[in-house]
Amino acid sequence: MFRQKEDEKSVTTPSGIEVPVVVFPEMLEGSPLGQPGEAPFTRGVFPNGYRGRLWTIRQYSGFGSAEESNQRYRFLLEQGQTGLSVALDLPTQCGYDPDDPMAIAEAGKVGVSLSNLAEMEILFADIDLAAISTSFTINGAAAMIFAMYVAAADKAGIPRTALTGTIQNDILKEYVARGTWIFPVKPSMRLIADSILFANKETPRFNPISIAGAHVRDAGCTAVEEIGYTLVNGLAYVDELLRRGGEVDSFAKRLSFFFYVHMDLFEEAAKFRAARRIWARIMSERYGAKDPRSLLFRFGVVCGGSSLTAAQPLNNIVRVGIENLAAVLGGAQSIFTCAYDEAFQIPTEQSAEIAVRTQQIIAHESGVANTVDPLGGSYYVEYLTDRMEAEILAVMQEIDDYGGVVKAIEEGYIQMRLAQRAKERKEKIDSGERVVVGVNRYRHEDEKAQLGEVFRLDLGNRRRILEKYQATRDRRDNDAAMATLRRLGVAAQTDDENLMPYLIDCCHQYVTVGEMVAELKSHWGEFQEPALIA
């Protein structure tokens, strides 16, 4: 048998898993490979993979006003994009209206300003909500945006049962990785449970949560930790839904997940193969799920994020292509490919089109979508999948031993772990131990030569956003708006009454996101970020 030389330097994946020079069958742990579409789902959740249906091609997009974002969406759909992914500005994400002193300078800057139903109607003008799958990346104010989307469908005469898409709605990772939290943990968990239980009955084809590991990954953690932290968050939501009287086989089939894909192709593909069988086993053994759909680990991904570089940005086209390939080999259901210039600006139409074309080339020219799990049976991939599974379970056990994910978040433990990992990653790049082409190796003296087309945001946006916001408030029936807002406040003071119908009523009366959030803050307060020193 082949033996590694004693003086040969060991190699590990970015998660620290040792990579053998060569893998032999006896090195595998004998985990069942199984059939695609059947437990343990190592090979995928659908028996025919992408031969039945390709993944949904999305681009995360939105900027400035609803009018501008609507124009970009229609452009992307014309290029063959098959789903929309809405980027919202920070004021909307944090529950502020565009005229709030905390928000006025940021209105429309890193996403579209979406403060009320009138803006939602503009955002989707000439786009059939019954024919397109829409994803919203929002968490603290997710229930309000979901309510607004439902209200927009109501006004357009579209049955709620026809709506498809996803709202991220994962507050636990906001507390540790992004910071767009609003309310304390317990009332936030209530809002999430409300939206999931409501969706089960009213919008059964719409995913009311996308449990997201993407942002903890971008914040610095490894692929192993990304999956581990995401799964414990997912189980916390399952426990909350069961506490609220939900039935596992009713809500579990609409749970979905969301991740980043970085540059180690085999580790990235293996993490999804491992995650599928862990989730299926826990849902079956711990929660007694009987419906096979309750066991399915369905997920979307972003290819890019912090793996992209501002230096030599055209290199990012290659990076995104490799990451897109890893996502397909791992069996993603929805893929968003970052544009090459996204490390330093809002993508231009040209760069966004290249990102869409990247997915289309892999889908139609590479051949990887022609068979299910083309990596399955590779000694190395099966070895790596087994090791990833063991390491992921160890991360989950660490959080359980601490006292559970809610306690770990409230006391800042996971936040501290992410900070440590981010520091380690930076030190490896700074030292050159981890090579990043164009950043710490193979640099140019004049990096500006490759910047290419520059996106320019219309500086008049803020004024127009504020004018439209005020016009909506002026023409609405203010008495009716305030009455629905008061009813929301009364319901919020109960223990478990579902708030979604009240939020939808508010949206129909053009109550703004900021007004709904302020009403709930008056009863629930705000989350106070903990400080934990390593």
pLDDT of residue 452: 66
pLDDT for residue 449: 54
Q: How far apart are CA 465 and CA 239, in angstroms?
A: 41
Q: Amino acid identity, residue 361?
A: I
Q: How do the domains of the chain map onto residue ranges? A: 25-450
- In this prediction, residue 3 carries a pLDDT of 58
Strand 209-212 and strand 255-261: the pairing is parallel
What's the pLDDT tens digit per position in 75-89? 999 999 989 999 999
- Per-residue pLDDT band at 532 (split at 50, 70, 90): low
What residues are paired with 58 via a beta bridge?
336
pLDDT at 109 over 90: no
Q: Which residues is 64 bridged to in the sheet?
A: 112
- pLDDT interval class at 272 (50, 70, 90): very high
Instruction: Name beta bridge partners: 299.
Output: 257
- Asked whether the beta carbons of 86 and 49 are under 8 A apart, the reply is no
Q: CB neighbours of 26 closer than 8 A, spacing ≥ 6?
A: none
Query: CB of 517 within 8 A of CB of 527?
Result: no
HSE of 290, CA atoms in CB hemisphere, 13 A: 1
Q: What is the mean pLDDT of residues 91-97?
A: 96
Q: Is 49 buried (19+), middle (13-18) or exposed (0-12) by CB count in 10 A?
A: buried
Give the pLDDT mean for 20-35. Answer: 89
Q: What is the token pair recorded at 208?
A: 């009311």
pLDDT at 487 over 90: yes
H-run or E-run covering 121 = helix 117-123
Lowest mean pLDDT among 104-108, 193-197, 234-238, 391-395: 104-108
- Asked whether the predicted pLDDT for residue 7 surpasses 60, the reply is no
Quote the tokens at residue 59.
């681009």
Q: Rounded to whole angstroms, how far apart are CA atoms 245 and 133?
A: 29
Q: What is the pLDDT of residue 32?
A: 74
pLDDT tens for each residue of 33-53: 889 999 999 999 999 999 989
Sign of torsion, CA 200 203 204 209?
Answer: negative
Provide the CATH number for the domain formed by 25-450 in this structure.
3.20.20.240
Q: What is the mean pLDDT of residues 237-257?
A: 95
Kindly report the pTM of this predicted structure. Answer: 0.92
Cα–Cα dist 490/206, whole Å: 28
Please report the DSSP string for 303-327 in residue order. Answer: E-GGG--SSSTTHHHHHHHHHHHHH
Rounded CA-CA distance 58/134 in Å is 9
The string of pLDDT tens digits covering residues 276-291 is 999 999 999 999 999 9
Confidence of residue 494 (pLDDT cuts 50, 70, 90): very high
Q: Please, which residues bridge with residue 303 across strands?
A: 261, 337
pLDDT at 447 > cutoff 70: no
Q: Per-residue pLDDT for 496 more than 90? A: no
Length of the chain: 534
Segment 146-157 shows an average pLDDT of 98
